[in-house]
Amino acid sequence: MEQVCVGVDIGGTSVKLGIFTLSGTLLKKWEIPTEPKNDTKALIEKIGKSIKENLKEGGLSLTDCVGVGMGVPGPVMPNGYIEVVVNIGWKEVFPARILSDLLDGMPVALGNDANVAALGEAWMGGAKHIKDVVMVTLGTGVGGGIIIDGKIVPGKHGLGGEIGHMHVRESETEKCNCGGKGCLEQISSATGIVREAKKLLAKKKDTSRLALIEDLTAKDVLDAAKAGDKLAIEVVDIVAKYLGIALAHIAMTVDPEIFVIGGGVSKAGDFLIDKIREKFIYYTPITKSKADIVIAKLGNDAGIYGAAKLVIS
Amino acid sequence: MEQVCVGVDIGGTSVKLGIFTLSGTLLKKWEIPTEPKNDTKALIEKIGKSIKENLKEGGLSLTDCVGVGMGVPGPVMPNGYIEVVVNIGWKEVFPARILSDLLDGMPVALGNDANVAALGEAWMGGAKHIKDVVMVTLGTGVGGGIIIDGKIVPGKHGLGGEIGHMHVRESETEKCNCGGKGCLEQISSATGIVREAKKLLAKKKDTSRLALIEDLTAKDVLDAAKAGDKLAIEVVDIVAKYLGIALAHIAMTVDPEIFVIGGGVSKAGDFLIDKIREKFIYYTPITKSKADIVIAKLGNDAGIYGAAKLVIS
C-alpha cells in the first residue's frame, strides 16, 4: 500500500480534511463542522475518529499514514503550544499531543493556518516546488506565510507572516482590531477595500456607480474598477499601493523568489496583480531583479495541502 | 593540532582577517590594505598569500584549516556570483572559486558583509548562540542581516536584510541614493541623523546647542540629546520612531528572538536602545510577547567572526 499523509484545516465553521500521497496527490477530501467549540479535546476526538474512518473507507490502516498536520486559525508557539484561538475557543492547549495519543502515537504537526496555506501553495500550488515563497492572503483580514528553504518561518512569538498588521499608512486615524493604526489590513483586506471606497464616496458621491450599491462588497469595488469606474480605480490603486509597500518590506527582509496572492480578493485576478506588481516595482528601486507575483492556485484547499506537507517536510 | 577556520572581511579601505578555533575563539587577527582595487584576482591572491603566511606563523598548515569565509560590501547571489561591488571595483566574478583554487581547493564561502556581521553577532556576540537573529547596522548607511535557524537568509535577488531601503516615511520629499524616497536610511543612519537635525535647526535655530556646532555629526546630536537638548531629543525620537516601525515590519515577517543593533550610531548605547524599544513596542500592539533589542558586542570584528562561521555552519 502506498503511504499517505493527512492534512487538517480547522476553521471557525468547518474542519476540512484531506488524504494525500506523499508526492502531493489529493486522494480524498471531506469536511466536518467545527463543533463543539470551547472544548479542544472533544473536537480533536471527532477529528481523530473521522480520520480513522476515512482511512479505513479508503482501504488504509493507521500504519499506512506517516502523519497528520493541522492548521489552526491562531498563533502557534514553536513547541506546539496554543495560548488562545479566539474563534474556536481554544485556550492553553497542546492540540497535536492530544491527536497523536488518539492515533497510536502517530506524528502530528501543528501550524498557523496562514503559514500552512503558504506551505500548501509552495508544495503543489502557485509556487509549486519553489523553496522561498511568501504568501499573502487577502480575505476578511490580511494574513501571510513565509516559507524559507521549504520551511515555514513561524517566528519566536507567533508573529511570523503577520503582515496584515504592518504599519504602512502614517496618516491613518482609525484604529485596527489589533489596537494599532495604519495597518495593511485596514486598507487591503476585503473589509478595508469597502472602507476605502466608502471614504472616497463620502467625498465625491456623484461620480461613481458604487454610490448606487447597497451593502457594498469588495467584489463590487473590484468589478467596478475593471469596468472603468474612476472612483473604484482610485480605491484599487490605494489598495495596491500599500500592498506594494508591504511586499517591498518583505522583499527587503527575506527577499523570496515569488509572492503568491490568495484569498477572496485575489479572485480579481491579473487586474489586481498587475497593479500590485507596478507598485512593488516602484518601491524597490534598489534592484532590477525582482520577485515574481502570482495568484494562488489551491483556493480553499491550500490549508489541507500545507497541513499534510507539515509532516513530510 | 586543533582545527581552525579563517574569516575575511573585505572593506573599502582594508581587508580584516582572523584565525578562529571552531568553537569561536579568535586566535589572531590582522589587516591588509584593500589594494589593488578593480582587480579581483590580484586582491584575492594577496589575501590567499596573507592567509598562508599567517597560518604558517601560527604553526598551522593548510590542512589544519577547515575553510575560509569572506564578507564583501555588496550583494552576493546564492551561487556565489557577484555582479558588481562598486567600492572595490569588482564586476562579474566568483571570488570564492578564485581563493579556493589558491588554497589547494579548500572550502571557501562568500556572503554580503552586513549578513556576515549578523552571523558573527549570532555566533559569539550580542546574540550569542541564538538561532533567530536580526542585526541592524547603523553607520553611514543602514544595513541589516537576517539569521533564521542559525543561517543567513541572503535572499533570491541579493536583497535579504536590505532594511535600510524600506520605505517607512510617506511624507519624505528628498531622494535616497537607491532612487526611492522615504527610506529608513534617510532618517536613521549617521548621515540621516545629521540631516534630520539640520532640518529641525532650520526651523527653530535659536533653541538648540546644536546650532553652535560646525560640521555637525550624528555623535553631536546623540550627545546633545543625552544632555537634555530638546531639539536633539526630538531628532532622536524621530530616528527611533522609524527604526521602531522597521523592526515591527521585520517582526511581522520573520519574528526573530532578538534584534542586535550595531554600527557607529549604536555607541549611543541604552539611551538609544530604550527609545527604539519603546517605539517597537508601540508599533507591535498585536502581541505582548516581544523580541529583545540589544547592542552589538563585536564591533568591527563582527565581520571576521561571521565570515569564519560561514564555513562551519
pLDDT digits (tens, 9 = 90+) for A279-291: 999 999 988 889 9
Interchain contact, B146 vs A253, CB within 8 Å: yes
- Smallest Cβ–Cβ distance between B161 and the set A75, A160, A253 belongs to A253
Interchain contact, B286 vs A167, CB within 8 Å: no
Interchain contact, A157 vs B283, CB within 8 Å: no
- Give the phi and the psi of residue B280 in degrees, each rounded to 5: -60, -45
Q: What residues does A258 pair with on adjacent strands?
A: A133, A292
Q: Is the pLDDT of residue A74 over 90?
A: no
Q: Do both B70 and B175 map to the same domain?
A: no
A232: Cβ–Cβ under 8 A, 6 or more apart, which residues? A197, A208, A209, A210, A221, A222, A224, A225
User: What domain count does chain A have?
Assistant: 2
Residue A255 in 3-state DSSP?
Answer: coil
Q: What is the DSSP string of A173-238?
A: -SBPTTS-BSBTHHHHSHHHHHHHHHHHHHHSGGG-GGGG-SS--HHHHHHHHHTT-HHHHHHHHH
Q: Do both A42 and A136 map to the same domain?
A: no
Q: How many whole angstroms from its chain centre is CA A283?
A: 24
Q: How far apart are CA B99 and CA B307, in angstroms?
A: 14
pLDDT for residue B206: 63
Q: Do both B109 and B194 map to the same domain?
A: no
For B133, name the nearest residue in chain A, comparing CA atoms only. Answer: A156
Q: Is the pLDDT of residue A206 over 80?
A: no
* The dihedral formed by the CA atoms of A121, A83, A108 and A57, expressed in degrees to the nearest 10: -80
Which one-letter DSSP state was computed for residue A163? G
Q: Please, what is the Cα angle at A175 between A173 and A179, to 5 degrees? A: 140
* Mean model confidence pLDDT for chain A: 95
Taking the Cβ of residue B290 and every Cβ of chain A, the question of whether any pair is shorter than 8 Å is answered with: yes
Interchain contact, B257 vs A156, CB within 8 Å: yes
pLDDT tier, A1 (very low <50, low <70, confident <90, very high otherwise):
low
Q: Do both B116 and B196 map to the same domain?
A: no
Residue of A133, A147, A157 to mutate for B, most B C-beta atoms under 10 A: A157
Q: Do both A170 and A250 map to the same domain?
A: yes
CB of A175 closer than 8 Å to CB of A167? no
Taking the Cβ of residue B223 and every Cβ of chain A, the question of whether any pair is shorter than 8 Å is answered with: no
- Cα–Cα distance list, A99 to A93, A108, A249 (Å): 12, 7, 38
Number of Cβ atoms within 10 Å of the Cβ of B274: 11
From the number of C-beta atoms within 10 Å of its C-beta (0-12, 13-18, 19+), residue B151 rates as middle
CB of B271 closer than 8 Å to CB of B304? no
pLDDT per residue of chain B (313 residues) written in tens, 0 to 9: 689 999 999 998 999 999 999 999 999 999 999 999 999 999 999 999 999 999 999 999 999 999 999 999 988 888 899 988 888 999 999 999 999 999 999 999 999 999 999 999 999 999 999 999 999 999 989 999 999 999 999 999 888 999 999 999 999 999 998 899 999 999 999 999 999 999 999 987 667 999 999 999 999 999 999 999 999 999 999 999 999 999 999 999 999 999 999 999 999 999 999 999 999 999 999 888 899 999 999 999 999 999 999 999 7
Q: How far apart are CA B31 and CA B34, in angstroms?
A: 9
Please state the rounded mean pLDDT for residues A172-179: 93
CB of B193 closer than 8 Å to CB of B221? yes
Please state the rounded mean pLDDT for residues A239-243: 98
- Smallest Cβ–Cβ distance between A283 and the set B144, B148, B167 belongs to B167
- Give the phi and the psi of residue A33 in degrees, each rounded to 5: -70, 150
Q: How far apart are CA B88 and CA A49, in angstroms?
A: 65
Q: Is the pLDDT of residue A77 over 90?
A: no
Please state the rounded mean pLDDT for residues A3-24: 96
- Smallest Cβ–Cβ distance between B253 and the set A254, A285, A290 belongs to A254
CB of A10 closer than 8 Å to CB of A305? no
Q: Do both A134 and A169 map to the same domain?
A: yes
Provide the percentage of residues in chain A whose pLDDT is more than 70: 99
Residues 8-27 of chain A with CB under 8 A from chain B are none
Q: Is the pLDDT of residue A205 over 70?
A: no
Q: How far apart are CA A164 and CA B149, in angstroms?
A: 24
Q: Do both B200 and B179 map to the same domain?
A: yes
- Smallest Cβ–Cβ distance between A153 and the set B156, B169, B254 belongs to B254
Taking the Cβ of residue A180 and every Cβ of chain B, the question of whether any pair is shorter than 8 Å is answered with: yes
CB of A59 closer than 8 Å to CB of A76? no
Query: Which grid cell is A170?
Result: 502614517
What digits encode the pLDDT tens for the residues A21-47?
Answer: 999 999 999 999 999 999 999 999 999
Q: Which residues of B touch A153 (CB under 8 A)?
A: 148, 253-255
Q: Do both B63 and B36 map to the same domain?
A: yes
Q: How far apart are CA A198 and CA B156, in angstroms?
A: 39
Taking the Cβ of residue A289 and every Cβ of chain B, the question of whether any pair is shorter than 8 Å is answered with: yes
Q: Which residues of B touch A171 (CB under 8 A)?
A: 170
Q: Is the pLDDT of residue A301 over 90?
A: yes
For A144, name the nearest residue in chain B, comparing CA atoms only. Answer: B253
pLDDT for residue A204: 78
pLDDT for residue B288: 87
Q: Do both B233 and B275 map to the same domain?
A: yes
Taking the Cβ of residue B286 and every Cβ of chain A, the question of whether any pair is shorter than 8 Å is answered with: yes
- Cα–Cα distance list, A29 to A53, A58, A88, A94, B199 (Å): 13, 11, 22, 25, 62
Interchain contact, B253 vs A249, CB within 8 Å: yes
For A172, name the nearest residue in chain B, comparing CA atoms only. Answer: B170
Interchain contact, B159 vs A251, CB within 8 Å: yes
Residue of B243, B259, B286, B288 to mutate for A, most A C-beta atoms under 10 A: B286
Interchain contact, A256 vs B156, CB within 8 Å: yes
* The dihedral formed by the CA atoms of B256, B136, B185 and A244, expressed in degrees to the nearest 10: -20
Residues 254-273 of chain B with CB under 8 A from chain A are 254-257
Q: Do both B18 and B136 map to the same domain?
A: no
Q: Do both A35 and A91 map to the same domain?
A: yes
Q: How far apart are CA A45 and CA A311, in angstroms?
A: 20
A223: Cβ–Cβ under 8 A, 6 or more apart, which residues? none
How far away is chain B from the Cα of A43, in angstroms, using its nearest Cα? Answer: 27
- HEC per residue, chain B: CCCEEEEEEECCCEEEEEEEECCCCEEEEEEEECCCCCCHHHHHHHHHHHHHHHHHHCCCCHHHEEEEEEEECCCCCCCCCEEEEHHHCEEEECHHHHHHHHCCCCCEEEEEHHHHHHHHHHHHCCCCCCCCEEEEEECCCEEEEEEECCEECCCCCCCCCCHHHCECCCCCCCECCCCCECECHHHHCHHHHHHHHHHHHHHCHHHCHHHHCCCCCHHHHHHHHHCCCHHHHHHHHHHHHHHHHHHHHHHCCCCCCEEEEECHHHHHCHHHHHHHHHHHHHCCCCCCCCCEEEECCCHHHHHHHHHHHHCCC
Query: Could you tell me if the ipTM is greater than 0.90?
Result: yes
Q: Give which of B72, B142, B295 is closest to A252, Cα–Cα.
A: B142
How far away is chain A from the Cα of B213, in angstroms, using its nearest Cα? Answer: 33
What digits encode the pLDDT tens for the residues A90-133?
Answer: 999 999 999 999 999 999 999 999 999 999 999 999 999 999 99
For A143, name the nearest residue in chain B, comparing CA atoms only. Answer: B252
pLDDT for residue B2: 84
Which one-letter DSSP state was computed for residue A167? B
Q: Do both A162 and A273 map to the same domain?
A: yes
For A84, name the nearest residue in chain B, comparing CA atoms only. Answer: B287
Interchain contact, A159 vs B249, CB within 8 Å: no
Interchain contact, A159 vs B132, CB within 8 Å: no
- Structural domain span for residue A188: 130-297
Q: How far apart are CA B304 and CA B60, in angstroms?
A: 19
Interchain contact, A286 vs B180, CB within 8 Å: yes
pLDDT tier, A2 (very low <50, low <70, confident <90, very high otherwise):
confident
Q: How far apart are CA B22 and CA B45, in angstroms?
A: 25
Interchain contact, B156 vs A255, CB within 8 Å: yes
Specify the CATH number for the domain of residue A75.
3.30.420.40
